[in-house]
A and B are shown apart, each in its own frame.
Chain A
Amino acid sequence: MRRYLIRRILQAAAVLWAAYTVSFLVLDLLPGDPVSAMAGAAQDQASFDPAQFARLKHEYGFDKPIPVQYADYLGRAVRGDFGDSVATGRPVTTVLTEALPPTLQLTAAALLLAVLAGGGLAVLATWTSARWLRQALLSLPPLGVSVPTFWVGLMLVELLSFRVHLFPAFGDDGPRGLVLPALTMAVMPGALIAQVLAKSLLGTLEEPYVQTARAKGAGRTRVHLRHALRNAALPALTILGVLTGMVLANSVVIETVFSRNGLGRVTAGAVGVQDIPVVQGVVMFAAVAVVTVNLAVDLLYPLLDPRIVMAGRTA
């Protein structure tokens, strides 16, 4: 167990290192560092001072050779220092930790909602014997992954806060203001959970042990919930990492739609002003979140399903 644990953690660390390298390649190697961008914008102004920009460039380390920059940045990133925001001059770590709480509330609420609604839909669709209900329910998830997230949010605002004054529309950070953004955010992951779980449930219900349970006299509902669901839920667990990443990324769109403060708003703003250190910090935070959730799922899996032999599993 311990060897498996160590190997998985090392693998996760390797993925994170590589993710950092990818984000470095994308953000720092492609043309245009932020200081040059500022210089370009300021060039035609009277106050333009080349010496000042050269000093700025030196301060941020943009004048050093690329491998040196990379080693510098990586060394600092390992210690949790992603440099300073180019736009505001504040440390990226501070900017992110300040923006994190409202986004974490939102994503947690959305994921919970997605699991409940998506899981409920899948269970009901596979449990019911009414053909029309099953087909109606199973046609919802493909719809859910086809509508633009930002549009769902705008329509919810239009219907539930402008037509019927149920919830505040924009910029409310209280619990009532959380409802609409969380609903919007839950649509896509909820649809995916429903698809995966329904498929896995349908497969499980064909298994011989389900027949055995029925033959022993267990009721339809009991077989469905106690016997089939417990096994069918395991494959659905594996997409949790993907969903976490998706939900975090969607916060960029949803927080913009609802004018909420948070990580997504910070990201949207940073992309707008080419604030590379902040964007890189956000990308790395998301990668850490995804890798951590994946690692947790991988480590939990053998506990939930003793049939999994750990030694045989590789990444």
Chain B
Amino acid sequence: MSQTLDGGLAAEAAAGTALPAPRRRRREETGLARFLLRRPGLVLSALTVLAVVVAAFRPETFTSADPLAGVPAHRFQAPSAAHWFGTDELGRDVFARMAHGAALSMKATLIAVAVAFVFGGLVGLVSGFVGRWVDDVLMRAVDVVLAIPALFLSLALVTALGYGTVKVAVAIGVASVASFARVMRAEVLRVRQAVYVEAARACGVRWWNVLGRHVLPNAIGPVLVLATLDFGTAILGVSALSFLGYGEPPPAPEWGTVIAGGRNYLANAWWLTALPGLVIAATVLSTNRIARALDGEWARRR
């Protein structure tokens, strides 16, 4: 619901705080090193995302504790060197649960973004490239979908589809299709008027080649930026739905489910909700920061 809004503003914020670097010519490598050195936050964000991705594929890298079987004698232990995030009501290591849950939550996030990207991109592409009544019909449909708040649309889809990580992911993804379609269409419209497209057409290039070789590669950039930005939105959406209990059934350590489980022990075990929530917030912040950097780069290149 807020991606497009965020996009423009994020670019603005990045331009305001980070960009006024001196515009002297330097060699590429030192330029990149300098670029990163001036942005420790961006480096930290990249490392955070990297850690989450590694956890999604090989959670054993971070912890040897079992995410599902707990040691009842060790229940409700506060965070310590042995249990970074403490232990829950069954004596399970919360850090291990978050590390192993990364796979489920990242899978859901990826599916959600992919659904939004592919379907939204296709709708926008067709709408912008074909134009005329097709454009009118598709864009009115997009307007309608935007009139329904994203979370309600996702909840309606969950009602119809049922529970589970994949279904929740699809529900979250479909809710973002409209904003992807809008951005893609706007970009296609911009590129379609370019002189090189006209030249290609004049040379008798077939329409599918015009589309595939000229329009698509030049229009896809902002949509990719939106996709990185949508990662954050999707993580939040998926965790909200799994917090509400529509994700995998309980023993599975999905991020939102872990927090929902800690809710009952808020008074005596703060770490069950506080630390997993920080993990989610840190991941979302990182992906948003990266999206902002990409956005700024693209804005400068144009």
Contact = CB atoms under 8 A, between A and B. Distances in A.
Interface of A: 15-16, 18-19, 22-23, 26-27, 30-32, 135, 138, 142-143, 145-151, 154-155, 157-158, 162, 169, 188, 192, 195-196, 199, 202, 239, 242, 245-246, 248-250, 252-253, 256-257, 267-268, 270-272, 274-276, 279-280, 282-283, 286-287, 290-291, 294, 315
Contacts of A195: 5-6, 9, 13
12 contacts: A23-B156, A30-B157, A30-B160, A138-B13, A142-B285, A143-B285, A146-B232, A147-B277, A148-B239, A195-B6, A246-B2, A257-B263
Nearest to B272: A154
A285 B284 CA distance: 30
A157 B13 CA distance: 32
Interface of B: 1-2, 5-6, 8-10, 12-13, 16-17, 140-141, 143-145, 147-153, 155-162, 232, 236, 239-240, 243-246, 256, 259, 262-263, 266-267, 270, 273-274, 277, 280-281, 284-285, 288
Contact of A157 (B1, B162, B266): B266
A245 B151 CA distance: 9
Given A26-B157, A252-B244, 10 more contacts: A15-B144, A19-B148, A22-B145, A26-B156, A27-B160, A151-B280, A242-B1, A246-B2, A248-B149, A249-B152
Given A142-B285, A239-B5, A22 B274 contact: no
Contacts of B232: 145-146
Contacts of A135: 17
Given A142-B13, A155-B273, A246 B6 contact: no
Contacts of B17: 135, 138
A contact face: mostly helix, strand, loop, or mixed: helix
Nearest to B273: A154
A245 B149 contact: yes
A250 B150 CA distance: 10
A253 B244 contact: yes
Contacts, number: 169
Contacts of B273: 151, 154-155, 158
B148 A22 contact: yes
Contacts of A154: 259, 262-263, 266, 273, 277
A15 B284 CA distance: 33
A239 B145 CA distance: 16
B147 A287 contact: yes
A145 B232 CA distance: 9
B281 A147 contact: yes
Residue of B1, B160, B244, B246 most packed against chain A (CB within 10 A): B160
Contacts of A155: 273-274, 277
